[in-house]
Amino acid sequence: MSGDTFGRLFTLTTFGESHGPALGGVVSGCPAGIPITEAAIQQELDRRRPGAAQAGAASTARKEPDRVELLSGVFEGRTTGTAIGFCIRNTDQRSADYSAIKDVFRPGHGDLSYHAKYGARDYRGGGRSSGRETACRVAGGAIAQAFLATLGIMVTAYTVELGGIRAAVPGSLAALGNVWERPFFAPEDAVITAWQGRVAEIKARGDTLGGVVEVRAEPMPQGLGEPVFDKLDARIAAALMSIGAVKAVEIGAGCEAARMTGSQHNDPILPLPHRQEASNHAGGVLAGISDGRPLVARAWVKPIASHHQPQATIGTDGQATSITVGGRHDISAIPRIVPVCQAMAALALADFCCLQTRQAGAMGI
């Protein structure tokens, strides 16, 4: 109820802020018998690590090993069906970096809204609003992906736009190749040089950039999603919008759909085995329920709030003042946010897969 838990059947509950002893979480409702290793979770965590090769110049030099430790729920390499606890220790807590912002609200951050909500705030590194919280999403998402893998479902995220420069996006996971080996987790090679140039230019000005992440899941089972309020696309939207920097979410054709006519937008339904040859403006969701086409969603990410130019703001005393944010910060949430988007989509899908087994067809207690 306080928003520390995501999901209904396959759930992730997280705790932790950037400067406490540790972050961690509990995955509850994961079926028994799923193969899980710390190494597989660690691989996902390493992808959101600052300084990873893929992040290139867009990320801070700050080092956080983000070493995950599994604490329960896995026995002899497989899930037992009971709660999976995990922990990630905080090791790099330079509190001194943050003392300057104790009494001033940084624009674009949660400083003012947290202060208003709780009457006080842990000002060290943003406390619970820190992007560091997303490490637990990635760990939980890795467990969700292990479960989805047993159902043959694969979820992948990649950057499709950075600083206003759009990449060419292949139309299938097969055509994407391994996005994790490309800088910025790009979906193609050609755009990388342009993105590197844009980052260098903005970095020199002490400013920051936004971008767009696309998530694809395929092959998709039919029937995931619920009729009214818990439509598959509604949960995907909530999943992606719950990531701090995301300001818009699209499904399939997204905003473009609103400018098409019905005859342009409707996807023909082709008989098998030609089903996947038709357009997929719906993004794999019809009336909130998956139709077996690939799920396609996009998250629009705002620029990092911590730029190095002076900003007008107020102090905790309510008086006008100015702040210039120092410290080590990423130029863009891209690409570190990419595995986070993938994790959230995987968590949402894992939850629906658990839910789906109770429907008529699957009911066989």
Q: Give the residue with the Cβ less far from a copy of itself, 177 or 257.
A: 257
The size of the chain, in residues, is: 365
CB of 224 to a copy of itself, least distance (A): 8
- 340 to 359, contacts with a copy of itself by CB under 8 A? 353-359
Q: Check binding of 112 to a copy of itself (CB under 8 A).
A: yes
Per the annotation, does 279 bind a ligand? no
Count of positions on this chain that bind a copy of itself (CB under 8 A)? 158
Q: Check binding of 133 to a copy of itself (CB under 8 A).
A: yes
CB within 8 A of 206, min separation 6: which ones? Answer: 307, 308, 309
Residue 345, both tokens: 């989509």
Please select the residue that binds a copy of itself; options are 266, 276, 280, 316, rule is CB under 8 A. Answer: 266
Q: Check binding of 154 to a copy of itself (CB under 8 A).
A: no
Per the annotation, does 28 bind a ligand? no
For tokens 């998250």, what's the residue?
299
- Nearest Cα to Cα of residue 105 among 85, 87, 81, 123: 123
Per the annotation, does 130 bind a ligand? yes
Per the annotation, does 302 bind a ligand? yes
Q: Which stretch binds a copy of itself (CB under 8 A): 45-53, 60-68, 311-319, 335-343?
A: 311-319
Q: Check binding of 316 to a copy of itself (CB under 8 A).
A: no
Lay out the sheet containing 84-89: strands in order across.
5-6, 11-15, 22-28, 84-89, 68-70
Q: Check binding of 204 to a copy of itself (CB under 8 A).
A: no
Q: Check binding of 28 to a copy of itself (CB under 8 A).
A: yes
Contact predicate 2/15, CB 8 Å: no
CB of 267 to a copy of itself, least distance (A): 6
Per the annotation, does 306 bind a ligand? yes
Contact predicate 69/87, CB 8 Å: yes
CB of 23 to a copy of itself, least distance (A): 7
Residue 221-260 contact track with a copy of itself, rule CB under 8 A, x = bound: xxx-xxxxxxx-xxxxxxxxxx-x--xxxxxxxxx-xxxx
Q: Give the residue with the Cβ less far from a copy of itself, 54 or 332.
A: 332
Q: Which stretch binds a copy of itself (CB under 8 A): 43-51, 58-66, 178-186, 312-320?
A: 312-320
Q: Check binding of 9 to a copy of itself (CB under 8 A).
A: yes
For tokens 């047993």, what's the residue?
150
> What sign does the dihedral 201-204-205-208 (CA atoms) show?
positive
Helix 38-47 × helix 134-150 angle, to 10°: 130
Contact predicate 138/44, CB 8 Å: yes
Q: Give the residue with the Cβ less far from a copy of itself, 95 or 181.
A: 95
- The burial class, CB within 10 Å (0-12 / 13-18 / 19+), for 221 is middle
Q: Check binding of 121 to a copy of itself (CB under 8 A).
A: yes
CB within 8 A of 328, min separation 6: which ones? Answer: 60, 61, 62, 97
CB of 7 to a copy of itself, least distance (A): 8
Q: Which stretch binds a copy of itself (CB under 8 A): 46-54, 75-83, 92-100, 177-185?
A: 75-83
Phi, psi for 172 (deg, rounded to 5): -155, 160
Binding-site residue positions for NADP(+):
48
